[in-house]
């Protein structure tokens, strides 16, 4: 099970929690897709301020349920692929949508459908599709035709490196990711 991840809460959120400590949690309302878009039943959330707030107040509890601390209420998040969506910044560092830099990548995780994910110190994150080609150019291998293509072709025996660190290649179905990496795809209230 992944450890809990607590977001840094803004002072106004901390005040709301102190004032209303027992607000019931919300389930089945908020979703994070594989492109880091926030969705509610009516469609995507697009207001930049709201999107930024959601990313900054995103965290996980001890049971692997991801949530947004929305004032005094926790809104639990359904996750399409992985808890984190990682993109490359202007200088080639992997970052979360809130700008947190990934310091360590421990494994490359591939699914049979070709999703590319990374196990990091933050937990499991999928590489944003628009950054995938740039990310794979940063992988090093002795394979002709590119490191990721060799791995996709089943060549797990090739040494694969990212920023000088050897990366093991793990293969899981999308359905197996939550159990293996300690998160809940569709969080439910504890009974």
> For position 140, what pLDDT does the model report?
73
> For position 31, what pLDDT does the model report?
97
Give the number of other CB atoms < 10 A from CB of residue 56.
Answer: 20
Please say whether the beta carbons of 181 and 143 come within 8 A: no
**Same domain for 63 and 105?**
no
Q: Which of 23, 49, 79 is the last residue of a domain?
A: 79
**Same domain for 38 and 103?**
no
Can you give the residue range of the structural domain that contains 164?
84-181
> For position 1, what pLDDT does the model report?
42
**Same domain for 106 and 169?**
yes
**Same domain for 64 and 133?**
no
Element (H, E) at 118: strand 116-120
Q: Which of 31, 58, 79 is the last residue of a domain?
A: 79
> How long a stretch of residues is the chain?
191
**Same domain for 89 and 167?**
yes
> For position 133, what pLDDT does the model report?
87
What's the CATH code of the domain at 33? 3.10.540.10
Please say whether the beta carbons of 178 and 78 come within 8 A: no
**Same domain for 104 and 168?**
yes
Alpha helices in the chain (DSSP H): 11-19, 48-56, 132-138, 147-152, 177-181
> For position 191, what pLDDT does the model report?
55
**Same domain for 65 and 116?**
no
Counted domains in the chain:
2
> For position 70, what pLDDT does the model report?
85
How far is residue 91's CA from residue 169's CA, in Å, rounded to a whole number?
A: 25
**Same domain for 143 and 89?**
yes
Backbone phi, psi, residue 138, to 5°: -85, -10
Mean pLDDT by 10 residues, the chain (191 residues): 61 75 88 96 95 93 92 92 96 93 93 92 95 86 60 67 85 95 90 55
């Amino acid at each position: 099970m992944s450890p809990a991840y607590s977001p840094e809460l803004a002072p106004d959120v901390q005040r709301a929690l102190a004032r209303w400590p027992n607000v019931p949690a919300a389930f089945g309302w908020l979703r994070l897709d594989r492109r880091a878009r926030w969705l509610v039943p009516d469609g995507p959330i697009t207001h930049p301020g709201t999107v930024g707030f959601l990313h900054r107040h995103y965290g996980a509890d001890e049971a692997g349920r991801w949530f947004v601390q929305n004032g005094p209420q926790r809104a639990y998040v359904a996750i399409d692929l992985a808890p984190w969506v990682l993109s490359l910044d202007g200088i080639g560092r992997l970052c979360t949508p809130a700008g947190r830099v990934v310091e360590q990548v421990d494994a490359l995780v591939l699914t049979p459908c070709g999703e590319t994910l990374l196990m990091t110190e933050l937990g499991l994150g999928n590489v944003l599709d628009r950054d995938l080609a740039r990310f794979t150019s940063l992988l090093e291998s002795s394979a002709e035709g590119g490191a990721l293509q060799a791995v996709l072709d089943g060549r797990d025996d090739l040494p694969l490196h990212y920023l000088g660190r050897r990366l093991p290649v793990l293969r899981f179905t999308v359905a197996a990711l939550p159990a293996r990496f300690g998160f809940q795809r569709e969080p439910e209230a504890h009974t």
